[in-house]
Chains A and B, each alone.
Chain A
């Protein structure tokens, strides 16, 4: 009996994974625990190992998104024969068969559509079989064709089509969910980083580590959260859950795989140096696909520093189930009024989005002002 390799479940909430790469070819010998595939979920990219030794055959093509538990490959034991099609995909050409064509052959019935619907469909090169009719007896009407057009896209030569799958889909769902469920607004303040810049330079000149500005920001946020615990909560099932641990996620942009938010656990208990070390390791892992599930779950607040990218101000979208997020813009020299005189200072905009369903302006702005204060007077950081 061939050993079935199923789509593994990496965390409780994972429903499906995408096979981004097969590391073995059909017919290749494989050892137990040898990596055979790279699977991607919304949060991470993981290598999957073979459960047994034998001959490898995949049963799902590369790029397919498969539900947890479904078979993705077979490991044929010695002396067994290779299983017959259709379980095993032998040639890539089969991947190009369009399901809709098979469906059209199978169905002998005519598609009922109003004359206007037929005309519209023909103009836009749509196969009527793909449209569901809402008219009497299931007749496809103009409304149905237009609705289909809005939802689908007819391919054009001068357009590149990227399916919204895998992490992209998840991100789309999460962003949309976040904005639809929470009453988000962003409050912005300008923080003077001049002193922090001086302190950092001093530390570096003393031979100490180069601590990134993000780390200082995380430190300031973690500290301020202790004083403003409401900002570190979640609204779940009609209840406000205020967390007493502060796990701060830092948004990291990856070149090809979009945004990922590794989480620094108990950030308030860590020193600047510790934070710096953890963060740079995490960023590295993020970019090389080595983050684990543990690394990307459990956050209570997120920081997104768009300064390095060049952003000035933003209205960041809260990372559910959290209730607030801080976006920081680029540190720039700006004319500022000090003692009624205009001076040049290095400032950056701090943009706090929060869930106004249960967080008022007072605590939010208070929280933000405290962060500002801590960054402007870094000696206050503990």
Chain B
């Protein structure tokens, strides 16, 4: 997809919005109003935004545990996301799932599971359905380095390969699964190498570069849509905060964190600099964008506060269709 200036600015805005949202939730956590863990994607915003931007409306996305950016980039309003994190009811029904795995059918976001690694199979199945129905949809399946060691990952890649399913597997290798470094858990240094084991194409992106991600994904999407089968894209990236957000326990040293930040780059800052250098973004524009983002976030907080709690009976509903 050829990117116009508006696209670039929008990608910047989306990343900034995601970052600000994550920061806001960190701020709100001590108030006790959020009922869930915070698996913030700070430092990795470029992967989800870059990958999801430019998809067709009916393409499907399976976010990872740490996929706030996917929701935002796919079009879920931040106020809705925050209201769900507050445990409030936003629509006619009350989906009983926490925000990380929420399914949003009208926007093509598939419901996830708290069991890490199982979603790969689901996403693969959605792609299978697309193939059978001939819809030409493509499925983006996000997961982390940890999930790539699950049996389902391997079975799913095999199935997608033999059936040439329209799916793009995107592994956000942020070097750590909860507290386990990838070097101690994963048999290969580049997870993308596993693609060869299934006879599919593997791609590695070695810097926090939103445009690199976007380009790679778009190529993979095109291949998939044209029936050439799946691709495994590995994005080397880094989680700036501990597993459950900035206020949870950190197992990595400060040196390590800073080292990686320098190595991979700063996804939003570097991009902003790039755009400003090319005069696509000006100081004033940046200020405006920042102000609008802040406004949107504040609005989200107010919306979340005001939204009603679900009635207790909701707990008993919808066990069966």
A–B: direct contact at CB < 8 Å: no
